[in-house]
Amino acid sequence: MSFSIERYKEESKKLDTSGIDWQAVTASPLSKGDLFCLHYMMDIENHVPLYLSHLLVTRACMDPILTAFLACWNYEELWHGENLGKLLNLYGIEFDAQDRIANVRANLGFQNSVSILSTMVGSWLLKDFSAVYLTIGAINELSTLTGYAALIRKSGHPVLKDLLGRIIKDERRHYAFYFNSAKEWLTGNEKAQRVDRWMLNRFWVPVGQGVKTQEQVDALALYLFDDEQGEEDLLALDEKIGKLPGLAGIELMSRALYAARERRRQDPEWAWRLIDNEEWAVASPKKSPIGELTTRRTRGGTALSAVEGT
Ligand SMILES: [Fe+2]
Ligand SMILES: [Fe+2]
């Protein structure tokens, strides 16, 4: 698996959706589980700029190759979220994408600031912190594309299959970058390998956790991966990450699935109730109206830009 940053910079572009049969979105049904996963995935794709804000307070910002990648990567991820939202809207689920994104962010509140600060401190204290976020990047991209492939399989929806197939190609390139960069950092660097393994075993969480609750993460994991094929996919994923220097035999995604199964065993309603009750709306923030949290304040409910015709 090779990766060239020069080629990536030249070829990076907005997701090509030409030829997708958007009109056929309503011709095939999506189950409650499919819809739950799509909302989760859209929210996490749309959360990438905030994840980026974490990376840019680390030593990552010193590396021009990494920042060039992040500039293109952030743009590509934007169009993943946009198109998942478009598909949901066309399917008949009404929401305002901008309000939803703002609400997800506003609900993070203080926790987001603490998380940025601790990432910053960790990075400046530990020289090999780079190995950790590069490895986490590889795991996140690989688990995202594995999740999309699982959703294609579960839903059997032709338009979703077409869209996710295109997104998966982007995610593969992202994975290649992170994996190769992590490998480069870890090769011949035993201290970094030890730090990486230790941090992953203690602090790693599946992609989206923190923005989503444990029960939401488990609902996604159990819907997509709680069958023979799904479990195999996650074991294969761990095996791929285990090929990084110092990470042989590491169990991350498979361990997350087994932990989700255990929580459901203790409470049979766990996770599935979110899917059954169609709990994919994002609540408005308790403290501040959304207008106060964004630059787009409104007058009498109408956006300023619309009032002023800009
Ligand atoms: Fe993405
Ligand atoms: Fe990605």
pLDDT at 193 over 90: yes
pLDDT of 62 reads 87
Q: For residues 30 and 66, what is the distance between their CA atoms, to the nearest angstrom?
A: 38
Supply the mean pLDDT for the chain: 92
Residues β-bridged to residue 292: none
Tell how far the Cα of 220 is from the centroid of ligand 2, in angstroms: 18
Give the chain's length. 310
- Reduced to 3 states, what is the DSSP secondary structure of residue 302? strand
- DSSP annotation of 30 reads -
Is the pLDDT at 300 greater than 70, yes or no? Answer: no
Q: Give residue 106's pLDDT.
A: 87
**What are the angstrom distances between the C-alpha of 93 and each of 16, 84, 88, 189, 270?**
23, 12, 6, 50, 25
What mean pLDDT do residues 93-116 have? 89
Ligand in nearest proximity to the CA of 148: 1
CA distance 269 to 257: 16
What whole-number distance in Å separates Cα of residue 34 and Cα of residue 163?
A: 14
Which residues have C-beta under 5 Å from ligand 1, the single-atom ion? 45, 77, 80
Stretch 18-34: mean pLDDT, rounded?
98
- Whole-structure pTM value: 0.92
- Residue 288: band (very low, low, confident or very high) from pLDDT cuts 50, 70, 90: low
Mean pLDDT calculated for residue range 94-109: 90
CA 59 / ligand 1 centre spacing (Å): 23
Q: How many CA atoms lie within 13 A of 305 on its CB side?
A: 3
Give residue 119 CA to ligand 1 midpoint distance, Å.
Answer: 22
Place of tokens 């106060």: 292
Percent of residues, the chain, with pLDDT higher than 70: 94
Give residue 169 CA to ligand 2 midpoint distance, Å: 9
44 — pLDDT class (breaks 50, 70, 90): very high
Reduce the DSSP state of residue 144 to 3 states and report it. helix
pLDDT at 163 over 80: yes
Going from the Cα of 11 to the center of ligand 2, the distance in angstroms, rounded, reads 15
pLDDT at 308 over 60: no
If one counts every other C-beta atom within 10 angstroms of the C-beta of residue 110, the result is 7
